[in-house]
Amino acid sequence: MQRFLCLNMAEGMWRAVIRVACVTGADRGLGLSLTGWLLENRYTVFAGQYMKEEDSLSLLLQQYPDRLHLIPLDIGNASSVKEAARSIAGHTGHLDLIVNNAGIIHNADDATILVDMDDAAMLQLYNINALGALRVSNALLGLLLQGKSKLIVNISSEAGSIARNKRINMYGYCMSKAALNMQSSLLHNHLKKMGGQVMVFHPGWLQSYMHGEKNLAATIPPEVSAHKIMSIVQEHKKYAGDEPAFLDIEGQIWPW
């Protein structure tokens, strides 16, 4: 009986230290690098998969078959988000971390006010970049509140900063990221009362695939950005306060 109790206690302690995360837009770029970092650091990860033709996540799955779960997820579709949440809840009773990374850029959004603007493109940007993250956080909040950290990380952009704006175009993208920042503030106000927190990151000028092909003109490889973001996230309590921490990858405060 004593040996049985000891085994049960050991199993309970082992389960207690398992950290569980969900990452959206995990197929490639920053999302893939964030997923890789989390797996290397002993997290169990539910990776939102949008592009099944990408094989990078499948390769990661071969390395971490016990701790990586690929979840079909289109954050622009409410039904897809709810189905993903049900699938995640079928595997775990808690989440410690939600990383809302998925986002898009639209070529039609390069227009200035001097020409006709593409309303449909801007609505798509808002649906994905602003509402998509909110859908995910809303659907997974029950699991997050069962976790220890109760932490949400939203990947925003310098494009969402009104204080430092110098642009004359990209209305849809910039406004969608500004809306994501406001959403983060609203959510943080609620979560902080329950022991949770929201962090918002400008990930730098990334060598990402947001335009369809890898942007080699950009200065920051996604794996570098991911490492710096997660190094800061591990000290998230240091940044806890009345407002969500809005930071760049060097840990510098970024103005709204």
Residues 19-41 pLDDT 10s = 999 999 999 999 999 999 999 99
Is there a domain that residue 180 lies in? yes
According to the model, what pLDDT value does residue 54 have? 82
**Gap between the Cα atoms of 124 and 130, Å rounded:** 10
**35 is in which domain, residue-wise?**
18-248
Is there a domain that residue 6 lies in? no
**Gap between the Cα atoms of 136 and 100, Å rounded:** 8
Is there a domain that residue 11 lies in? no
According to the model, what pLDDT value does residue 213 have? 66
Is there a domain that residue 10 lies in? no
pLDDT, the chain, mean = 92
According to the model, what pLDDT value does residue 227 have? 98
Identify the residue with better confidence: 212 or 7.
212
**Gap between the Cα atoms of 223 and 220, Å rounded:** 8
Q: Residue type at 98?
A: I
Task: Kindly report each contact of residues 47-51 with a partner whose C-beta sits within 8 Å and lies 24 or more positions away, as own/partner.
Answer: 47/22, 47/23, 47/71, 48/22, 48/23, 48/24, 48/73, 48/75, 48/84, 48/102, 48/136, 49/73, 50/25, 50/74, 50/75, 50/102, 51/27
**Gap between the Cα atoms of 226 and 37, Å rounded:** 7
Is there a domain that residue 202 lies in? yes
**Gap between the Cα atoms of 242 and 127, Å rounded:** 27
Q: Pick from 177, 40, 160, 43: which is nearest to 98 by CA?
A: 43
Is there a domain that residue 204 lies in? yes
247 CB-near residues (< 8 Å, 6+ apart): 199, 200, 201, 202, 232, 239, 253, 254
Q: What is the pLDDT of residues 141-155, one digit of tens each?
A: 999 999 999 999 999
According to the model, what pLDDT value does residue 17 have? 62
Which residues share a beta bridge with 49?
A: 72
Q: What is the pLDDT of residues 215-255, one digit of tens each?
A: 777 789 999 999 999 999 999 999 999 999 999 999 999 99
- CATH number of residue 76's parent domain: 3.40.50.720
**Gap between the Cα atoms of 42 and 31, Å rounded:** 17
Alpha carbon distance, N-terminus to C-terminus of the chain: 59
**Gap between the Cα atoms of 207 and 128, Å rounded:** 20
Is there a domain that residue 85 lies in? yes
Total structural domains within the chain? 1
- Maximum alpha-carbon separation in the chain: 79
**Gap between the Cα atoms of 111 and 172, Å rounded:** 10
pLDDT at 4 over 50: no
Q: Residue type at 253?
A: I
Is there a domain that residue 256 lies in? no
**CA 109 remoteness from chain centre:** 23
Which residues share a beta bridge with 201?
A: 155, 247
